[in-house]
A and B are shown apart, each in its own frame.
Chain A
Amino acid sequence: MGKFFGHRPPVSPRPEFLSVKSLLQCAGGISLLFIVAHLAGLRAFTCILNGTVGSVALGWQISQLLALAYIFIYLLFVLLVPVLVLAAMILTLWQKGRRK
């Protein structure tokens, strides 16, 4: 049994805040979240932007909540993910430059 319980499984160290790895992990996480929200069909609820209820059956409050969640995740995906990836590239280049 010691084989199973004797050792703690190896845990990968948490990447340092604002490191290349953490930036890319954050970008990946947001992208995944966006894909899930998109596949869940939350895009259809964004009609609250013109004052139309997303679903008469679900009502205003739930429609609004789903729409706002989707819009927030979409904006993160479109605005933040490219910035995070670009920043990771800039940091990588900077670190390479310093090593030289």
Chain B
Amino acid sequence: MPGRDVIMKTRLHRLLAGLVALVIAAVVWLPCLHFVFLRPVNDFRQEAGISPKARALAAEQLKLWTDPALQKVEVEKMRNSNPEWDFMGRSFLVWSLANMSLRDPASKALNLPAMDRIIDETLRIEKEKGICFFLMSYGKPEQYVVQPARSLFVDGEIALMLAARRMVEEKPEYKRLLTERVDLMADALRKSPHLILESYPDECWTFDHCVALDAMKLADQLDGTDHSALIRDWVAMARVKLVDPRSGLLIASFTTTGAPLSGPQGSTLWMSAHCLQLLDDDFARDQYARAKKELGTVTLGFGYAHEWPASCPGPANVDSGPIVPGFDISAGSSGMAFIGAAAFGDTKFLQSLAATLDFAGFPAHSGGRLKYCASNQVGDAALLYAATLGPLWQKVKLGGHHG
């Protein structure tokens, strides 16, 4: 049967040739894939002015706030998973609009009314429905250690929204609201034996403390108060009590006595490092460098971030989002890594993160607006913040007062 052997051999050769061609093609294509999605970093974020992506993201966000039906759908989807996202989506958007207004004063006419609308509606909801409306279901007021119950998560972000708005342009109605909230937080911190306040019952977060202290820093600039001693004491406490000894990174959450509840978590750490820039720049830089080393990764040109450092592993949770197995990619940490990379001028990492966003974020463009389908309103607002942050912190650091 020599004829049959020849046919078999020929088939085998063809199969082998096909397989070899596939392997060669894969070896050529996979390292090149990121070039399809790689854009100049200016496309996402510019040193001065507003980048095209920031404009398009902001346009989509503002559309949500002018179309109640659309907003309802988006908010309902987020609240279904986590009511915090409804709240944080507001905060990130207001902080972004403040930075955009400082970058491009002509945009104030559009941004300030939007900021006021978001702040006023948030305050109204807080007043009508209480702090629990923006908290997950276990945030029961009667279970807080310190009574009457207050959440530093809610107080800190609202205070920073009010302060950011006033840094762009003074609004007398917000002066009293900011002072009241800052006084509440500062007094409670001073009374706390460990300089720690709750966001949830006996659950405290580094992220929320950093945001709250930033709000105090802005209030100092706006109203001539002085919280520098309190800020110094808190940072000193954090360096001693809230740093994970294995990684040197700030832990994410802890009890009212400072006992760790979770280790360092990417979904909060990148923002904490950015917020520390106003409180202690050296500490902030150190945290970013460590976070980048422990959590940041670039594979085949695509940047992403893990939720937990290898030395301190943990499970996927509502903050991390689902974790992609194999690569250990956390959507939450990767999204927030944009803020870290932008805040610390890590252009190369930012560019690789942006390539991943365009590859796996499923962008949807429509009429000059942009949203990422793999994200949600709060995710897109955080990306917008990463694309625009800078001028607000710069103004505080330079000591420039609002006009």
What residues make up the interface of A, taking CB atoms closer than 8 Å to B? 16-19, 23, 43-56, 74, 78-79, 82-88, 90-91, 94
A86 and B19 in contact, given A47-B376, A51-B318, A52-B77 (Cβ under 8 angstroms):
no
B136-155 to A contact mask, C-beta < 8 Å, 1/0: 00000000000000000000
- Are B77 and A18 in contact (CB-based, < 8 A)? no
Tell whether B70 is near chain A: CB-to-CB under 8 Å.
no
Report whether A43 and B14 are in contact in the complex, using a CB–CB cutoff of 8 Å.
no
Asked whether A91 and B331 contact (CB < 8 A) given A50-B379, A51-B321, the answer is: no
Q: Assess whether B375 is interfacial by the CB under 8 Å rule.
A: yes
Q: A50-B376, A87-B24 are in contact. Are A18 and B14 (CB under 8 A)?
A: yes
- The closest CB in chain A to the CB of B329 belongs to A49
Cα(A73)–Cα(B24), bound, Å = 22
- With a cutoff of 8 Å between Cβ atoms, the chain B residues found around residue A88 in the complex are 21
Residues of B contacting A51 with CB < 8 Å? Answer: 81-82, 318, 321-322, 331
List of A residues within 8 angstroms of B373 by Cβ: 43-47
**Once the chains bind, are A49 and B22 in contact (CB under 8 Å)?**
no
B38-78 to A contact mask, C-beta < 8 Å, 1/0:
00000000000000000000000000000000000100111
> Across the interface, which residues of A come within 8 angstroms of B321, CB to CB?
49-51
- Known A46-B374, A50-B322, A83-B22; further 13 A-B contacts with Cβ < 8 A: A43-B364, A44-B364, A44-B373, A52-B376, A53-B81, A79-B30, A84-B22, A86-B21, A86-B24, A90-B25, A91-B21, A94-B17, A94-B21
CB pair A84–B25 under 8 Å, yes or no, is yes
Contacts of B379 in A (CB 8 A): 50
Nearest CB of chain A from residue B270's CB, rounded to whole Å = 15
Q: Report the bound CA distance from A20 to B73 in whole Å.
A: 48
B14 lies within 8 A of A82 (CB): no
B24 near A46 with CB under 8 A, answer no
Which single member of A43, A56, A91 contacts B362 (CB below 8 Å)? A43
Query: In the bound complex, how far is the Cα of B15 from the Cα of A17, in angstroms?
Result: 7
Supposing A53-B80, A53-B81 touch, asked if A47 and B375 sit within 8 A by C-beta, the answer is: yes
